[in-house]
Amino acid sequence: MRKLFLVSIATILASTGALAQTVVGTTGAGHAATVQIEPQYRTRIHNYVAEHKIRPVETRERIVVGSPVPREVELEAVPADWGPSLTRYRYIYSGERVMLVDPETRTVVQEVE
């Protein structure tokens, strides 16, 4: 199952040309996938949050990579200019951190530094 998932991800990335923009990998069996974002896209993400004055969400627990986002937190759609390989994710802005979230599992897959 894991091999099928990895092959599927590699095929999707190669077919969209997104491989040059991001790299998707797993942190091991049972762990969430992480997304590596190129510096120019990190800059676009931070500029977007600043320009649109996105308000941070507030939760009792700290939201970290690999953990699920609480159900009461609304996930926002990723804008297309963040890169085509990121549009499958959603994001939250929490404590001056942008977190990419897998919408199917609500698991944080990457913190945008």
Structure-token pair, residue 89:
């994710």
**pLDDT tens digits, one per residue of 74-95:** 999 999 999 888 999 999 998 7
Sequence spans of domains, the chain:
2-112
The CATH architecture to which 2-112 belongs is Roll (3.10)
Instruction: Compute CA distances 16 → 7, 20, 47, 62, 69, whole Å.
Output: 14, 10, 25, 34, 28
Distance CA 100, CA 110 (A): 5
Residue predicted with more confidence, 32 or 44: 44
Q: Indicate the pTM of the whole model.
A: 0.69
